[in-house]
Amino acid sequence: MYKSTKKILLYCEKKSKITRIKDIYNVERQCSFGGFMKEFLFIGYSLSSLISILCLYLILRQRPGEGQKSVQTLTSFICILMTGYWLSINASTLEGMVIAQKVIYAGGCYVYFYMLLFYLNFCRIRIPRIVSELLQAFSFCMLIIAFTFDRHQLLYRSYSLGEANGVPVLEKEYGIAHHAYIAMMACYCVAFIVLAVRYYRTHLKGRRRTQSLILLFVALCPTASYILQKTASKVDLVPFGLCISLVLIIYLIYVERIYDVTGLAKDYVFSSIDDTALIVIDTDQYYKGSNELAKELFPVLKSASTMERLETLSQLLGDLKTDEEGFILVGDKVYEPKVKKVQNKGRTVGHVIWISDVTVEREHIRFVENYQKKLEHDVKEKTEHIEQLQQKIVLGMANIIENRDANTGGHIRRTSDVVSILVDAIQKDGQLGLSEEFCTTIVRTAPLHDIGKIAVEDRILKKPGKYTPEEFEIMKTHTTKGAQIIPSMLRDVTDENTLRIACNIAKYHHEKWSGQGYPEHLSGENIPIEARIMAIADVYDALVSERCYKEAMSFDQAYDIITESMGSHFDPGLEKYFIQCRAELEEYYTYANQKQVKAAEV
């Protein structure tokens, strides 16, 4: 009995030693695995951070088009996210882990949003602006909640520092904000898959098909790593998934060559323009770029950086020689400076100083201007020659009439001068609205007012006394006959307007405002204005001039007769002009009479 009991005790003691050895072995093995896992994650997170930084550098080397901008921003937030994971693996306190978690959310809240922009740009799809703003607002709200999760229970109801496989982790009980965040991430992933499949179905051949498959893996890698983390491990595996996604994006950019073709084309056009200097500045006048010609014109641009503020345009152009019209002169070249706005969604974001080489255009303009001036000069000379010819014809015909009519010596010339004096006063007043051309034509055609007398027989025209009623009726026909002669005489050497005015003067200068004149008994404003002016000049000259059948009246008598006849014989609207010209008319006739006396004495 004793021996059996002893054997049992020895067996139990031996078995307890084996159990303790196994427990110690298990603990040592767990510690060894935990240390290995921590070292593995440290190295993995460090490599992922370095790879993300390298990817950011490679993407920054690309031309910043719309697609590249979204990838740059996406990579920047992934770098922030990687930094947060690296801090978490090195955290030894709860405070350190909280800080690391905030950094992770600082990057993670925007990663999927900018990845969506990358997808949309890749697939050439535009979403409504309101949708983009709502998604940004959600990401911003999540960022604020994540940065303050230690002050509320929206993201985590509770949290504490724990350990999983020897790796420090934050043990969390999730809140409603985290569930909303996961739901939104799931929606993003569904959108990524839909876009990738859609792109795959529309590009079933060639490189595009490969690109669509890579595009699908870009979205699935972070999602798969997150699912694997939640199901098989408590250790964060998302950094590895994001790192793979970044490498795939770099592959798409550098191997599959998904460049921003529009941006490259704009850059090519910008740099290849050799006849226009282009300088790009923002709204604060900070230099953003220029082409080679601009650097040749403005050497200061060769050393200017994109962070340097340029002077104003006037100061920038100040050292260059300019002409009176503001064109820049450089050697034998002429440049025209302009400033054009650069707008984005209706908002001015900068300006392009556009300095175009307009040498050829300016030479062409000068040639056209010189040719036009020469043409105008030639036309003016020919017009003046034609007008002089017309005037000679008019005066020649008027002199023929005057030589036949012994009763009206100098009447044609004097009445023309009186008309000129009256018309000048009318023009200066401007109330009648007569054009300069109209007034000039009246003065020029006034000598033809009695041209119809050429058809009146000499026995009546040269009669020294008063006419009998029958003779007066024949004399009155000179008005209508004049209107018939003028067109046949001048139609080929003058225009229709001149013919019309000349005919009106010849036919209607004996009409009276009251309607008692001849040949058609017109009254008031039915009488052409040119004939009304001629009537005053004709009667005034007849009154103050000596005729073979009467003595000349005094200026006062003639003035009274004319003014008293305003409203009956003459247009009352012309009275003020006659009154204004009284002194000038009297001075003219005084000088004319003196000249006539001297001529008679000689």
User: pTM for the complete prediction?
Assistant: 0.44
Mean of the per-residue pLDDT values for the chain? 77
The DSSP 8-state label assigned to residue 572 in this structure reads: G
Provide the pLDDT for residue 505. 92
> What value does the mean pLDDT take over residues 128-146?
88
Q: How far apart are CA 447 and CA 164, in angstroms?
A: 122
Instruction: From residue 210, give the alpha-carbon distance in Å to each of 204, 215, 217.
Output: 9, 9, 11
Is the peptide bond prior to 519 cis by the omega test (within 30 degrees of 0)?
yes
> How sure is the predictor about 261, in pLDDT bands with cuts at 50, 70 and 90?
low
Percent of the chain beyond pLDDT 70?
Answer: 76
Provide the pLDDT for residue 64. 53
Residues in the chain, overall count: 602
> How sure is the predictor about 258, in pLDDT bands with cuts at 50, 70 and 90?
low
Contact predicate 101/134, CB 8 Å = no
Q: How far apart are CA 175 and CA 593, in angstroms?
A: 120
Structure-block tokens of residue 206: 């060639």
Dihedral Cα 291, 295, 300, 305, nearest 10 deg: 30
Which domains are present in the chain? 26-261 (1.20.1070.10), 276-357 (3.30.450.20), 373-601 (1.10.3210.10)
Q: Model confidence over 18-33: pLDDT tens digits?
A: 554 444 434 444 444 4
Q: How far apart are CA 353 and CA 297, in angstroms?
A: 13
Structure-block tokens of residue 548: 């073979």
Contact predicate 545/413, CB 8 Å = no
Name the residue with higher pLDDT: 403 or 375. Answer: 375
> How sure is the predictor about 420, in pLDDT bands with cuts at 50, 70 and 90?
very high
Q: How far apart are CA 432 and CA 443, in angstroms?
A: 16
Provide the pLDDT for residue 24. 42
Contact predicate 252/286, CB 8 Å = no
pLDDT at 282 over 90: no
Q: Report the SS3 class of residue 277.
A: strand
| AA identity, residue 527 | I
> How sure is the predictor about 1, in pLDDT bands with cuts at 50, 70 and 90?
very low
Q: How remote is the C-alpha of 124 from its chain's centroid?
A: 29
Specify the DSSP element, H or E, that contains 265: helix 261-272
Q: Model confidence over 75-132: pLDDT tens digits?
A: 888 888 888 888 888 888 888 888 888 888 888 888 888 888 877 877 777 788 888 8
The DSSP 8-state label assigned to residue 308 in this structure reads: P
Query: The tokens 């370095």 sit on which residue?
Result: 50
Q: How far apart are CA 432 and CA 571, in angstroms?
A: 13
Q: How far apart are CA 49 and CA 224, in angstroms?
A: 19
Please list the residues that pair with 354 across neighbouring strands: 278, 338
